[in-house]
Structure 1
């Protein structure tokens, strides 16, 4: 009797397994595939691939770089926002830097290692804070677009304007009567003939020093210096920060407007002509009310190549 009950239970389990296998392994995938073939979803289901003269040049869902072999921006193309996914827009390494607003101190490079031929700062242990990353990107974009790339809390050299103020502290932990002040993100030069001049000459009457490798400046009070840069920088935020996925194919209207003059000059057309193409490739707010209008960079650059190709 117990053997018969055991057989019935296992037969029921086997039937359930077969039914669920048919539903979840065959019926459901076929249903999803059939829906994806619909006119409104077919393009996305196929990867939203953009083709030019029969050749795939990218996807409208994934951003890409528009640079030369050395990584320099191509003047005739609108540039995407930065990417932290692999070497840039790598779908297999989608990620963000995971750095937040409190990331303001750089990890300095070892000057002894950096002095070796062919060594990059990163090879020597340098790791930029989020603040310095934003500062350097803003400076580079400003130079490319011919605008002021300065930002609050950034030095003219493109690093975070942060001081370590050392001295006795009051009951709230603030330094009073500082005895030493160090610009922690500006390392001293190993060449005596080319000394580093900190971005700020003095702080509360104390001369500001450059940072010496190997010294611990965490003992001081870390003080970001706002500087005199305007509160609303000429370089928009999406030009200097990566998206959470590192794959965002869009830029803001403000960043597109900033690049229009450079692209127009490279293509020998007017800014108004380029602006019209930008408007034609603008995506509205999500669901009509979420976020701000954006511009798909790949679609915009493809449209420019078709309407105003670079000559010569």
Structure 2
């Protein structure tokens, strides 16, 4: 290949680079930006910011924490669902907890998904005056899981237990059940490995938890700004008492800020927590006037 051919090829490549840079690196972004400034789209392109008196208070698309300096939930505000994004609703650390349905046994440095759900359910129940009990949870708010040790059949099922340990209840805690198939249940010794046993979650008596699922599980992004109407209604009495207003007025606000399914059939009804809390603050200002 002579020098002239090499020069032509490199010149053609350079022209293609310059043309594509202008089209895709400049023209396309500018076109998208101009399109985003059209009425009806500008608010979403700017981040769907919610402000009061010209001061941005958050985005209707991203949840936020309503806690005091110690991380304790403020009783006068509706609480959102848990978040696994950084320290909570951090857009720069959006993520899920990466724990699946088989995460039922606590590790020394990290609780299982089941124990997280049980703990959150107990906390929400205590905060909002309902039972925090739910299936596969102990009364103390950890996963109700046993390691059953003994001979097994061909399918791996223990046929005659010789030892049973409540793996998520460290000694000296009292196991949530006294016996299992006639064998006394032991508490778990710190640092001991009970993987040799068959892991058996125990359902318990609770079949219809009072605490909704979205109150105890994080969303996939960790940024979900919505809660279910059921979780919002659960919080009405607490918020009303903290603000000194009637539950009926707070319940009416929840209804006003409940959105139906998208297009009538996509997703579930939902309540935007930021907008609801701002409406509550507005109601309180009106009452003080």
What interval of TM-score do these two structures reach, taking the shorter chain for normalisation?
over 0.9
For 2:175 and 2:84, locate their aligned partners in 1 and report how far apart those are by CA, in whole Å.
Answer: 30
Matched residues in 1 for 2:212 and 2:90: separation? 24
Q: 1:138-153 to 2 correspondence within 5 Å?
A: 138-153=121-136
Could you tell me how far apart the structure 2 residues matched to 1:25 and 1:209 are?
66
Q: Counterpart of 2:15 in 1: which secondary structure? A: helix
Structure 1 residue 62, shift from structure 2 partner: 0.9
Residue aligned with 1:96, SS: coil
- Name the counterpart of 1:112: none
Structure-1 residue corresponding to 2:241: 265
Where does residue 105 of structure 2 map in the other structure? 105
Q: Could you say which residue in structure 2 is the equivalent of 1:92?
A: 92
Between 1:291-300 and 1:211-220, the stretch displaced more is 211-220
Aligned Cα root-mean-square deviation (Å): 1.6
* Secondary structure of residue in 1 paired with 2:39: coil
Find 2:193's aligned residue among 196, 216, 219.
216
Deviation beyond 4 Å, 4+ runs, structure 1: none
Q: Deviation string for 1:180-222 (max 9, x for gaps)?
A: 1111100003xxxxxx211101111111110012322111111
Determine the structure 1 residue equivalent to 2:116: 133
Output the CA distance in 2 between the equivalents of 1:65 and 1:96. 17
- Counterpart in the other structure of 1:68: 68
Unaligned runs of 5+ in 1: 109-125, 190-195
**Aligned counterpart for 1:252 among listed residues 228, 234, 247:** 228
Q: Distance in 1 between matches of 2:21 and 2:85?
A: 37
Q: Which residue of 2 aligns with 1:202?
A: 179
In the TM superposition, 1:9-48 aligns within 5 A as: 9-48=9-48
Q: Residue deviations 1:145-199, cap 9 Å, x none?
A: 000100000000000000111112223221122111111100003xxxxxx2111
> Counterpart of 1:177?
160
Unmatched segments (≥5 aa) in structure 2: none
Match of 2:281 among 277, 300, 305: 305
TM-score by length of 1: 0.88
Q: CA deviation at 1:270?
A: 1.9
The 2-side partners of 1:237 and 1:288 are apart by: 22
How much does 1:292 deviate? 0.5
